[in-house]
Structure 1
Amino acid sequence: MAVTFTNPILPGFNPDPSICRVGEDYYIATSTFEWYPGVQIHHSTDLVNWRLVRRPLERPAQLDMRGNPDSCGIWAPCLSHSQGRFWLIYTDMKRYEGHFKDGLNYLVSAPSIEGPWSDPVFLNASGFDPSLFHDDDGRHWLLNLKWDYRQAAGPDRFGGIVLQEYDAEARTLIGPIHTIFAGTAMKLTEGPHLYRRDGWYHLLVAEGGTGYGHAVTMARSRSITGPYEVHPDNPVLTSRDDESLALQRAGHADLVDTPAGETYLVHLCGRPLPGTQRSPLGRETALQRAHWDDDGWLRLAVGGNAPQNEVRAPYDATPWPLEREESHAFDSATLPMAFQWLRTPYPERLFSLTERRGYLRLYGRQSPGSWFEQALVARRRDVFSCEAETTLEFAPEDYQQCAGLIAYYNRFKFHYLAVTRDDAGRRVLTILSCADNWPSGDLDFPLAAPVMLDEETSVRLGLTMDGASLQFRYAEGGGEWQPVGPTLDAGVLSDEGAGRAHGYFTGTFLGMAVHDISGRALPADFSAFRYIRSEPRMTDNDLPRG
């Protein structure tokens, strides 16, 4: 009996996958947007089981995103291997909304995934989603979308896919810029990847936008510069025609061959909450079987163009069981791999694991949602039903200082259970909530009155998320858990919102936060963090089905 696996292979916020194989090893790079360090790289030997092994953009020379707006930063990295080195192309997007897209495209390389990763080479800024194609003759070619700011309508600003040669010795682009593909009637043509097979250059692109109209298109040419003819059964992959599919928003793909010559297509997808178009887990990564037909075109192995939830694996691999609980005691000098922070390449200004051994010390910086320096350390939500807990020691001096447990999407989408001080000088517990208050980011205060806390006792803070609901809880010292506040809307912590089918590109994070808007940088100490994946309370009938 064939082994099958269940998509997605990278659950939670892991979009825009780029895949490559080196020998028996597979690697996937995904976008990280404003979260630091930049680019997630997962490793597998069977295409089914994956482990996060590296975030290579980790120092100021490679990446500084201070001031980048929400959902800017690292867009659509491309990972490849050629001439004994890994090559990583990425965009650092500095502006997202409006007519302009100020994106800077860079290249870094390394002899192995572990590094050392080089300082970046600046390539261009003409558009985003760059990728590097290594031709059989040893030449290297950069592809990217060219952005056309002149057009009034969004789809028309996607000005086609351009191609230019990259000189690896001189570390610069050379020769003419060729526009090789204008896209199809679906428009919003982006995410290019190029492959060579049987004398053809095959171009794969994403179209239709990264929301519910997303799709994968292919075209081919005998010449690298075109002209390219569109796949006769375009689109090759999409969920746009079937709202019942478990995997929605399918698009932005890449191809890989196994050593045995089987072809698989890796792509982004989203799993909306039942009855909604809200995806709090963000855009995830899935895998489909594909094959090359007699006419030389790629198609899904199962026929049609719909993404499958259950897929036959290429190896006799047993999917790893989902780890139910992750516990972190902060007893190491390095941050656990699951966690990231926002934007800055100077984490020492945000946190320390050595100032007080056995604790994660966060230094209060700017307010929740700052685009510059925010003391927030968090991990992805990767299942619909989960819990998070942390233990906090914090002695605020006034209401401008808060520390606690946060469920965070961006500056106008978060729920924050925080210890602070009231006007009477008492240490209290409050909830700061911003439930999709776009564009103002105005706060809501769901608690009718703050909860009084003992002055000396540590505080345990927790939350339970089940689909679109979030319930906070707290306990003082070794006391019993008590619910605090009303059930909050966790569905707003999603890509969609503010009246748009999709508008932002990350996912829900759960973690620890401190802010001190007085500028005194008051610290808070966290002694533990637990993340528990719970059995979903939603029934099978509630979930979208394929």
Structure 2
Amino acid sequence: MKTFKNPIIPGFYPDPSICRVGEDYYLVTSTFEYFPGVPIFHSKDLVNWQQIGHVLDRPSQLNLDGTPNSRGIYAPTIRYHEGIFYTITTFVVSATGARKNFYVTATNPSGPWSEPNWLEDAPGIDPSLFFDEDGRVYYTGNRVPPEGPQYPKHVEIWMQELDLEKKQLIGPKYSLWDGALKQIHAQEAPHLYKINGYYYLIIAEGGTGFTHSVTIARSKEITGPYEVCKTNPILTHRHLGRNYPITNVGHADIIETQNGEWWMVCLATRPYGGHYRNLGRETYLVPFIWEEGWPVVNPGKGIIELEMQCPDLVETRWGTEPACDHFEGSELGLKWSFIRTPKEDFWSLKDRPGYLRLKTKKEVITEEVNPSFVGRRQQHMNFSVRTKLEFSPLNEGESAGIVLLQNHNYQLRVEYGLHENQSSIRLIRRSNGQDELLAIQPITTDLLYLKIEAIGQAYSFYYGTTPETWNLLREDVDGTILSSDVAGGFVGAFIGMYATSHGQESCNYADFDWFEYVGY
């Protein structure tokens, strides 16, 4: 019996949505304030996934200027119909939660994707598309019930027809369902399907925290009324306790394989070192069957497991991605992200071939701006990061180094720069918006090696001026500030390279020769 390990996509890849085209599977996830937006993955066997691009990879598609932490792109849905891929999502544009829903299209899932088609009078979040057998297309999302909420965070699932030629919603809005678990709150993430003559509506309830869950209802008519499954929730882990290794299970999408098996992708988290989730919400895979017209998830157990039996599909592995990026290509790899949309060329792979050059922008990573930062997701509980940095600080406040980032108010930074006319390496912990100097090492050099090793929530920091000769800067720093359980919000931790001039105009730059991430 072949098995696979969950999560199938580790690290901050939440709110998965999936579609199948023949023997190929495509999956997208949320990105919030990070750019490019909405990574898209390809698989042949539902277990091994390869990123093939981003859905929103141009500033014209996604302008994140001024977007607060944990706002931005929420819960995309991907669907395929008659030769065209559709991805629909929500752009939460402000701290007050102002929302705009839009969809984009492509004939090739790796892109290019179209410019956004913005939908008017489409309240709520988590939009999805359903293509019915009669050729009509429907939009589903959530909203406050028209008659008003009956309890805190009471929302309902609503539906309206979408005219693909006019690219707008048309006709009446229909209230479909306000969930199976009254008072649980936060009904969201709706997906409609038609299976064996029934319209099935799968949603998430209970919020994105510990009480997250998946529920389902069905109807013979798309507009309802919807019959509630008596075994709801069909998937949750909240009854297993906070010490169970997989928690916060919810936000599901389902797919039937070409061999007739049914599988569900959903999000969940792996707390460690206590109930801390530095890795963010990850993508998981679990099988289900149909009994008397209703899903039974992982029969006999009803939960997601860290190791499960593989789908009945031919295993297709992709080439292993190198642990070390030597920046020898003409473009950054797909794993790299920016904070918000870059509007200027603050980074380059061409100015010094074989190096990633970051300009010392005046923007700082402690504000909700677009700093000179290039990062990747933390994907393991235990990992090490190393980089080779060439940098000569010329003016007060210029610095460069590595950042472990949860958001602008919670982070760990190891920086080499000029402070009070003295060049030094500094380790700074930022918590609740306040910087604390944990370690400082005066040093003058043009070349620096930096290393971070994390064993669970213990993060240790090292530096050196020659290869593989490491000096301890600070050992066993508490990493729990990199969890949303401390910092708030919805994102997972990022690790990346950073340069700044701390509010001053600067023509300086930092060159990173390579960046290595090893998880274990």
Question: TM-score w.r.t. structure 1 length?
Answer: 0.90
Instruction: Answer whether contact 2:25 2:43 (CA < 8 A) is retained.
Output: yes
CA shift at 1:47, angstroms?
0.8
Matched, 1:520 2:505: yes
Give 3-state SS (helix, strand or coil) of 2:152's partner. helix
* Equivalent in the alignment of 2:411: 414
Distance, in Å, in 1 between the alignment partners of 2:196 and 2:145 is 34
The 5 A counterparts of 1:118-129 are 118-124=114-120, 125-129=122-126
Distance, in Å, in 2 between the alignment partners of 1:265 and 1:473 is 42
Instruction: Answer whether contact 2:127 2:139 (CA < 8 A) is retained.
Output: yes
Distance, in Å, in 2 between the alignment partners of 1:483 and 1:57 is 41
Distance, in Å, in 1 between the alignment partners of 2:495 and 2:147 is 39
Instruction: Answer whether contact 1:323 1:533 (CA < 8 A) is retained.
Output: no
CA shift at 1:200, angstroms?
0.9
Distance, in Å, in 2 between the alignment partners of 1:471 and 1:323 is 27
* 2:512 alignment partner AA: F
Ranges in structure 1 where 5+ consecutive residues have no aligned partner: 535-546
* Equivalent in the alignment of 1:157: 153
Residue 530 of structure 1 is aligned with which of 493, 513, 516? 516
Matched, 1:106 2:102: yes
Distance, in Å, in 1 between the alignment partners of 2:202 and 2:193 is 8
CA shift at 1:60, angstroms?
2.0
**Percent of paired sites with the same residue:** 36
Distance, in Å, in 1 between the alignment partners of 2:459 and 2:396 is 24
Distance, in Å, in 1 between the alignment partners of 2:391 and 2:505 is 14
* 2:235 alignment partner AA: L
Distance, in Å, in 1 between the alignment partners of 2:175 and 2:147 is 17
* 2:519 alignment partner AA: R
Give 3-state SS (helix, strand or coil) of 1:492's partner. helix
* 2:7 alignment partner AA: P
Q: What is the root-mean-square deviation of aligned Cα atoms in Å? A: 2.1
Distance, in Å, in 2 between the alignment partners of 1:101 and 1:515 is 30
Distance, in Å, in 1 between the alignment partners of 2:28 and 2:87 is 9
Matched, 1:453 2:452: no
194-203 vs 176-185, which moves further:
176-185
Instruction: Answer whether contact 1:148 1:156 (CA < 8 A) is retained.
Output: no
Deviations 1:414-463 (A, max 9, x none): 1000011121x23211112113x1xxx1111111xx312224x3011110
315-324 vs 487-496, which moves further:
315-324
* Equivalent in the alignment of 1:282: 280
Instruction: Answer whether contact 2:414 2:427 (CA < 8 A) is retained.
Output: yes
Distance, in Å, in 1 between the alignment partners of 2:411 and 2:341 is 20
* Equivalent in the alignment of 1:443: 435
* 2:217 alignment partner AA: A
Distance, in Å, in 1 between the alignment partners of 2:315 and 2:42 is 16
Distance, in Å, in 2 between the alignment partners of 1:372 and 1:291 is 47
Instruction: Answer whether contact 1:158 1:190 (CA < 8 A) is retained.
Output: no
Matched, 1:315 2:289: no
Report the CA distance shift for 1:49/1:241 in structure 2 as closer, same or farther (over 3 A).
same
Give 3-state SS (helix, strand or coil) of 1:241's partner. helix
Instruction: Answer whether contact 1:324 1:533 (CA < 8 A) is retained.
Output: no
Distance, in Å, in 1 between the alignment partners of 2:336 and 2:390 is 20
Residue 455 of structure 2 is aligned with which of 426, 446, 466? 466
* 1:302 alignment partner AA: P
CA shift at 1:371, angstroms?
1.9
Residue 233 of structure 1 is aligned with which of 228, 231, 234? 231
Instruction: Answer whether contact 1:101 1:147 (CA < 8 A) is retained.
Output: no
Give 3-state SS (helix, strand or coil) of 1:337's partner. coil
Give 3-state SS (helix, strand or coil) of 1:349's partner. coil
Instruction: Answer whether contact 1:325 1:532 (CA < 8 A) is retained.
Output: no
CA shift at 1:377, angstroms?
0.5
43-52 vs 510-519, which moves further:
510-519
Report the CA distance shift for 1:404/1:147 in structure 2 as closer, same or farther (over 3 A).
farther
Residue 373 of structure 1 is aligned with which of 366, 370, 373? 370
Number of aligned residues: 514
Give 3-state SS (helix, strand or coil) of 2:78's partner. strand
Deviations 1:166-225 (A, max 9, x none): 001111111111111112312210000000012111000000011111000001111111
201-210 vs 53-62, which moves further:
53-62
* Equivalent in the alignment of 1:405: 402
Question: TM-score w.r.t. structure 2 length?
Answer: 0.95
Instruction: Answer whether contact 2:401 2:415 (CA < 8 A) is retained.
Output: yes
